[in-house]
Amino acid sequence: MQWKKDDYLITDEVARLDRDAICGWLANSYWAANRSPALIKKSIEHSVCLGLFHQGRQIGFARAVSDQATFAYLCDVVVDPAHRGRGLGKWLVKTLLEHPLCQTATHCLRTRDAHGLYEPFGFVRTEYMRRSANPA
């Protein structure tokens, strides 16, 4: 599927994703800096992914992990710094929430600093528990 807005395009075509660009953005994030490129690429293959493009070049990414029934976990929402401040992150989140594979009973995510991005979509702050092989 594709969505267009001005000179921007969002697609869920996984084959079009620039995995090296995605790995670079996530390497510079606080939440995924410790993920290896191999782990990031594997996560892409097992998620609902959206690529954001401008003039044929990927400039953003978002993904959701979902059982397609009870929950969808939104994660890895990133926009290239040169394109931030234009509402593109909000458009990515809106499109991901409306995606047919994310029509679930619950949507969840975890963020340390982007509450203002997600709260307008109805997300509320809650207690979070985690078990991980990598406690960072």
**pLDDT tens digits, 35-89:** 999 999 999 999 999 999 999 999 999 999 999 999 999 999 999 999 999 999 9
CB atoms within 10 A of CB 122: 8
Does the pLDDT at position 136 exceed 60? Answer: no
Residue linked to tokens 């003039």: 55
**pLDDT tens digits, 81-126:** 999 999 999 999 999 999 999 999 999 988 888 888 888 878 888 8
pLDDT at 123: 85
Domain 2-121's class?
alpha beta
